[in-house]
């Protein structure tokens, strides 16, 4: 099955060889997203709410660049560097996903740099 890379304008530069997203037919796979700005700088150092918002906004931009919206996201995989941040992350998460929340899981994991507090990867089905 053919797929196409999805790279929204203003995306942070990848830390490794990957695309921010990939679209295969009507499915969009969003790579693990970290709290970085378009220049690759960490956003919200030490603030889980700021980092969560940055991550979800970046996911949203990938899904929208592929022709979808946040409501098309069916599954999220959430990685937290510290489970003490779980409630605060969920406060921001609920603003985006509210009553029609996707399936998900959340685990504690060591992230690629200690300054990152959250990483989320998503799967969306468009159309």
Cα(first)–Cα(last) distance of the chain, in Å?
18
Q: What is the pLDDT of residue 35?
A: 97
Decide which of 103 and 127 is more confident: 103
Residue range 8-29: average pLDDT? Answer: 88
- Give the chain's mean pLDDT: 94
The reply to whether 126 falls in a domain is no
CATH number of the domain where residue 116 is located: 3.30.1330.40
* Long-range contact pairs involving 38-44 (C-beta distance under 8 Å, separation at least 24): 38/10, 38/11, 38/12, 39/12, 39/13, 40/12, 40/13, 40/15, 42/113, 42/115, 42/116, 44/117
What is the number of helices (H) and of strands (E) in the chain? Answer: 2, 6
Residue 75's domain spans which residues?
Answer: 4-120
Determine how β-strand 27-33 pairs with β-strand 21-24: antiparallel
Tell me how many domains the chain contains. Answer: 1
Domain-embedded: residue 127: no
User: Residue 16, SS3?
Assistant: coil
In a domain, 125, yes or no: no
- 1 has a pLDDT exceeding 80: no
In a domain? residue 102: yes
In a domain, 77, yes or no: yes
pLDDT at 36 over 90: yes
Tokens of 98: 């509210």
């Amino acid at each position: 099955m053919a797929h196409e890379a999805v790279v929204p304008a203003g995306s942070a530069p990848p830390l490794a060889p990957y695309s921010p997203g990939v679209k295969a037919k009507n499915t969009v796979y969003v790579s693990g997203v970290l709290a970085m700005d378009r220049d690759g700088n960490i956003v919200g150092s030490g603030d889980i709410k700021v980092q969560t918002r940055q991550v979800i906004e970046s996911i949203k931009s990938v899904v929208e660049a592929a022709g979808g919206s946040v409501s098309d996201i069916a599954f999220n995989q959430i990685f937290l560097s510290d489970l003490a941040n779980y409630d605060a992350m969920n406060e921001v998460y609920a603003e985006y996903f509210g009553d029609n929340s996707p399936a998900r899981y959340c685990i504690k994991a060591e992230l690629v740099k200690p300054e990152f507090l959250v990483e989320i990867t998503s799967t969306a089905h468009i159309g």
